A and B are shown apart, each in its own frame.
Chain A
Amino acid sequence: GQSLEQPSEVTAVEGAIVQINCTYQTSGFYGLSWYQQHDGGAPTFLSYNALDGLEETGRFSSFLSRSDSYGYLLLQELQMKDSASYFCAVRDPSGNTPLVFGKGTRLSVIA
């Protein structure tokens, strides 16, 4: 099975940089994904890492270290609209299985 751990809450100041960590335990590994969910909305895909290293998409970057079973999402130049919940997710490579999500990190951006 799979399990993921991420902090439940993070608070950061507008314009700053914040890092949301995710550690995972899986019987197999097929990449780490990140999703964003605003209050009352549906989760939307942000990024994916299959290999070690940093993937950058605009103000958001995601990092993976497979040897450490660890990844993080980095948000730069924080804006108020970044206040949301962020979920990391993994999928077992064996078969046609769904993503397994962490419990989510609620990010609050303050002025």
Chain B
Amino acid sequence: SQTIHQWPATLVQPVGSPLSLECTVEGTSNPNLYWYRQAAGRGLQLLFYSVGIGQISSEVPQNLSASRPQDRQFILSSKKLLLSDSGFYLCAWSDIPSGRPYYEQYFGPGTRLTVT
């Protein structure tokens, strides 16, 4: 079966510090990978998605970046955090089953980031 891991679970960082959040997926190959951010009580904002190693699509211009160094690893980074970067960061994966017109997205447990 497939599992998705994210770490750390919680993080408190000062403004201006760097950030690195890691997501890994097990039990599947060549998944689509996604990073979402959710502010408190708000919806899911898509930040980045990747359909393959080294292929990153950015949805929102910001001080964040993403990388996919390995097939099942997705990393979210920042060189200098802003207060507005606080939120709940969710990694998700999906694949496209052949012959089926849709796919589900499976979310990791999330990282709660507080920038102080």
Contacts and interface: CB of A to CB of B under 8 A. Distances in A.
Given A87-B43, A101-B44, A104-B43, A44 B102 contact: no
Contacts of B96: 96
Contacts of B108: 42
B43 A44 contact: no
A102 B44 CA distance: 8
A98 B43 contact: no
Contacts, number: 52
Nearest to B55: A96
B49 A98 contact: yes
Interface in B9-66: 32, 34, 41-44, 46, 49, 51
B56 to A, nearest CB: 13
B101 A30 contact: yes
Interface string B58-99: 000000000000000000000000000000001000101000
Contacts of A7: none
A42 B109 CA distance: 5
A54 B115 CA distance: 44
Interface residues of B, number: 22
A47 to B, nearest CB: 10
Nearest to A51: B101
Contacts of B107: 42-44
B102 A103 contact: no
Nearest to A99: B105
Contacts of A98: 32, 34, 46, 49, 94, 105
Contacts of A91: 102-103
B73 to A, nearest CB: 18
Interface string A38-68: 0001111100101000000000000000000
Contacts of A83: none
Interface of B: 32, 34, 41-44, 46, 49, 51, 90, 94, 96, 101-110
Q: Please name the 3 residue pairs, one residue from A and one from B, whose CB atoms are nearest each other, closest first.
A: A103-B43, A42-B107, A101-B44
